[in-house]
Structure 1
Amino acid sequence: MKRAFTLLACCAACLSAPSIVLADTSYNLGVVSLYKSNGLDQDNPKGKQVRPALQGGVDTSFDNGFYLGNWNSTGRFGDAKLEIDLYGGHRGAITEQLSYDIGLISFIYPSSGGGWNGNEAYASLSWGPVTVKYARGVSGVIEKFGRLSLAYTQPLGEAWKLQAGLGMRNKTAGDFGDYSLGVTRDLGEGLSVGATFSGATRKEQLGGAGDNRLVLSLVKGF
């Protein structure tokens, strides 16, 4: 947790520099049929395939490339029923086509006794529709957990978007892969719907959490 606060403090120091820094803040609120992330069910893995979760957050981006954000989701996480993510970092362009994003995220689960909490550092490079990302736990329950991922996003006309992803974890994190394929539809006025098929390899060792699922979503951005 100390490292998370250190990064956020650095971001705040940069934002308090004498130069004028403009900020853009956006919000999002949505519901999903199941909270599934990186191929894994984040809710009770032995429950039903449809377990709706309410999700939402806020993001603030500054014109110097720094950003801060918060994202939350309901669910079942041991004794906790809420996940709170706090993150901050810096993104920018290396060339006209190549960009980067580096940062730190803190996962907090109130009422879990701290046993679920952890901090993760991440770095990514994007070239057009392709993004390569590496994330590694730096403290808490996910310390030394690493995941390398490849994501592809492609617009399909003016309203549709195709999204695909592959991921691989190191031995500390379980030594298995994950995959996803989905589409989203922009309905206008910040409203979108989506459907994503997702799962993980070595399902037998994951106790049902890596089973293939079709997750439906409805999100409003404003």
Structure 2
Amino acid sequence: MNNFIRPLAAAVALVCIAAPAAAEGVSYNIGLTSLYKFNGIDQDVRAPKNARPALQGGADYDFGNGLYVGNWNSTGKFGAQGQADLEIDLYGGYRGEFGQGWRYDIGAIRFVYPKDNSWNANEWYVRLGHGIFSAQYGHGFGNGNKTARLALSLAQPLSEKLTLEASVGFRNRHNMDSAKDAHLGLVYDLGSGLMASGRISGAETAKTGPAGKTRLVVGLVKTF
């Protein structure tokens, strides 16, 4: 169990040390998911299963003027041979609103896999939203990563505490494992910053085979 928790705890601790003490713009999150999927693809390189729990969490800092930076981490087995036992995401950007309720977010993210640098990657992204709808375009850069993906999403409140989520993504086929991905799910607010979720997620795959299989993913996230 220590091998499962220790890598994530170390990454979160680094962010907590770097963040300004007691700053109002700092928020933290920690969660547990039954399976780590990203864009419909199982991220853990071990034999695909319907459940392979991962501990996840990170920290965010909002400067209050639109600028933000953050860190998010996940346990698992990553890399070509599963050598890395931690994914570290470092990101930052600028967000705001304009016009009649339109919102935007422009930023970049760095994916880091200690013990296997071959999986390290960079991506810039642009998000645009209005009401319950949003769209995001992301494009990889550096390390030979030329991934491009467009995602269309919605988040429809069904009650004060329950929200329906849905999204569909389209990716370029150049050296890609999948061309389309989608998820549909429900998020329930348990109060005190605790959220429970259940999502059906999968992808149309060319190379990943069962890694893109449609699966039910459940999770809990606590923000504070």
The TM-score bracket by the shorter chain reads: 0.7 to 0.9
Q: Distance in 2 between matches of 1:58 and 1:96?
A: 31
- Which residues in structure 2 correspond to 1:1-222 (within 5 Å)? 24-44=25-45, 46-78=47-79, 79-112=83-116, 114-140=117-143, 143-174=145-176, 176-202=179-205, 205-222=207-224
Q: Distance in 2 between matches of 1:65 and 1:116?
A: 30
Q: Shift in Å at residue 45 of structure 1?
A: 5.7
Q: Distance in 1 between matches of 2:168 and 2:210?
A: 19
Q: Distance in 1 between matches of 2:58 and 2:192?
A: 18
In angstroms, what is the RMSD of aligned CA positions? 1.4
Q: Distance in 2 between matches of 1:55 and 1:106?
A: 17
So what's the TM-score if we normalise by structure 1?
0.85
Q: Distance in 2 between matches of 1:65 and 1:42?
A: 31
Give secondary structure in 1 for the equivalent of 2:96: strand
- The one-letter amino acid of 1:24's match is G
Q: Size of the alignment, in residue pairs?
A: 198
What percent identity do the matched residue pairs reach?
49
Give secondary structure in 1 for the equivalent of 2:211: coil
Query: Structure 2: 5+ residue runs without aligned partners?
Result: 1-22
Q: Distance in 1 between matches of 2:56 and 2:94?
A: 24
> Residue 31 of structure 1 contacts residue 217 of structure 1 at CA under 8 Å; is this kept in 2?
yes
Moved over 6 A (4+): none
Query: Structure 1: 5+ residue runs without aligned partners?
Result: 1-21
- The one-letter amino acid of 2:132's match is P
Match of 1:10 in 2: none
> Residue 102 of structure 2 contacts residue 129 of structure 2 at CA under 8 Å; is this kept in 1?
yes
- The one-letter amino acid of 2:98's match is I
Q: Shift in Å at residue 146 of structure 1?
A: 0.6
Q: Distance in 2 between matches of 1:208 and 1:122?
A: 28
